[in-house]
Amino acid sequence: MKTPPVVSPSEWDAAWRQLLVKEKELTRARDALAADRRRMPWLAVEKEYGFDGPAGRASLLDLFEGRRQLIVYRAFFEPGVCGWPDHACRGCSLVADQVAHVAHLNVRDTTLVFASRAPQPDIERVKARMGWTMPWFTMTDDFDADFGVDEWHGTNAFIRDGDRVFRTYFINNRGDEAMGSTWSYLDITALGRQEEWEDSPEGYPRTPAYEWWNWHDEYGAAAQG
């Protein structure tokens, strides 16, 4: 292995500052992309979809748990997938291991769920084994085919206006590599992080950065639905 040169502290600092310029360019580009996502047109979801969950049957609207936004990650855990029945697929399991505490999303009026075709008893068993706590539902119809996740994993973002549901964005392939943090999830939603510094359309919800941040066990009812 040919390693980079070993340099003095001042030379290292100069090299770091040179890369910091590119780091900041990347951050600004990422913010601009998120701003463009907030201006994406919405696609009305006209079909009814059904899921099985821990509390029984649920519609797509039910998955919102009363919140304004919904993020659905299609995880491959079902017969015929590598790992069955003891594990979800390795890649989807890696994604699941990275998911931040969902209370931080919930307090931003956003619900995150996973969805697979495995029955609920198998999902609950594997969640317990792996220490996963995110809501995880069983698809029972064409949801995966209709939203581009029947053959490969992917993350769909939705918003609701009353009882009407709209698809607002979609991430798949290597785009899913960045998912897991509170920020990466909020940045693909129609409302974003909902902070004052963001470039969002007029009238979008905004609060000062840092003001809403809290310990995940002290958000109270806002994070519990």
Per-residue pLDDT of 45-66, as tens digits, reads 999 999 999 999 999 999 999 9
What pLDDT is recorded for position 225?
A: 58
Q: Are the C-beta atoms of residues 105 and 185 closer than 8 Å to each other?
A: yes
- Average the pLDDT over 67-86 and give the result: 97
User: Does the structure show a pLDDT above 70 at 26?
Assistant: yes
Query: Count of CB atoms within 10 A of residue 112's CB?
Result: 22
pLDDT of residue 217: 94
Q: How many CA atoms lie within 13 A of 153 on its CB side?
A: 22
pLDDT at 187: 98
- The whole-angstrom separation of Cα 91 and Cα 128 is 18
Q: What is the pLDDT of residues 157-173, one digit of tens each?
A: 999 999 999 999 999 99
Average pLDDT over residues 103-124: 98
Count other Cβ atoms within 10 Å, centred on residue 175: 13
Residue 70: pLDDT over 70:
yes
Mean pLDDT of 8-37: 98
Average pLDDT over every residue of 11-32: 98
> What does the pLDDT read at residue 222?
66
**In percent, how much of the chain has pLDDT > 70?**
98
So what's the pLDDT on residue 184? Answer: 97
Is residue 34 predicted with pLDDT exceeding 90? yes
Between residues 8 and 209, which one has the greater pLDDT? 8
Report the predicted TM-score, pTM, of the whole model to 2 decimal places: 0.95
Dist. CA 213–CA 222, nearest whole Å: 12
